[in-house]
């Protein structure tokens, strides 16, 4: 199982973490990536039914943060403005808009 943190634009968002199977994770995050934006996930999905099923299952597997042992991916909802910080869609490669490293 892999853990996904969801960052939503809703004012009451609590940035929950959900467990996904390796297969579900692969539907959301292409190989080598650990940052995803929902509009891109939906756009590249060739099998909408499989993606819907994966999300249905994932939403039933919330993990209390105190029980989490690692975050394997971050999924952004309605945060298109953050794409500039993650050009490679890898957290460790995050950059400022001018290309300088964030870390």
Is 7 contained in some domain? yes
Q: Per-residue pLDDT for 29 more than 90?
A: yes
Interval 52-72: pLDDT, tens? 999 999 999 999 999 999 999
Cβ contacts of 83 within 8 Å, gap of 6 or more? 37
Is 102 contained in some domain? no
Residue 46: pLDDT band with limits 50, 70, 90 = confident
Total domains in the chain come to 1
| Domain that includes residue 48, residue range | 2-93
Which of 20, 18, 24 minimizes the C-alpha distance to 50? 24
Is 22 contained in some domain? yes
Q: How would you list the strands of the sheet with 35-37, edge to edge?
A: 35-37, 73-76, 2-7, 17-20, 62-63
Q: Considering the chain, what is the average pLDDT of its residues?
A: 95
Q: Per-residue pLDDT for 45 more than 90?
A: no
The pLDDT value recorded for residue 33 is 98
Is 103 contained in some domain? no
Is 45 contained in some domain? yes
Is 23 contained in some domain? yes
Phi first, then psi: give them for residue 57, nearest 5 degrees: -70, -45
Is 71 contained in some domain? yes
CB-CB contact of 61 with 102 (8 Å): no
The pLDDT value recorded for residue 67 is 97
């Amino acid at each position: 199982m892999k853990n996904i943190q969801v960052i939503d634009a809703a004012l009451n968002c609590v940035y929950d973490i959900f467990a996904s199977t390796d297969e579900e994770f692969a539907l959301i995050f292409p190989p080598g990536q650990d940052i995803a934006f929902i509009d891109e996930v939906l756009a590249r999905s060739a099998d909408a039914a499989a993606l819907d099923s994966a999300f249905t299952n994932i939403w039933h597997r919330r993990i209390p943060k105190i029980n989490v042992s690692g975050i394997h991916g971050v999924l952004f909802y309605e945060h298109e403005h953050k794409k500039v910080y993650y050009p490679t869609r890898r957290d460790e490669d995050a950059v400022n808009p001018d290309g300088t490293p964030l870390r």
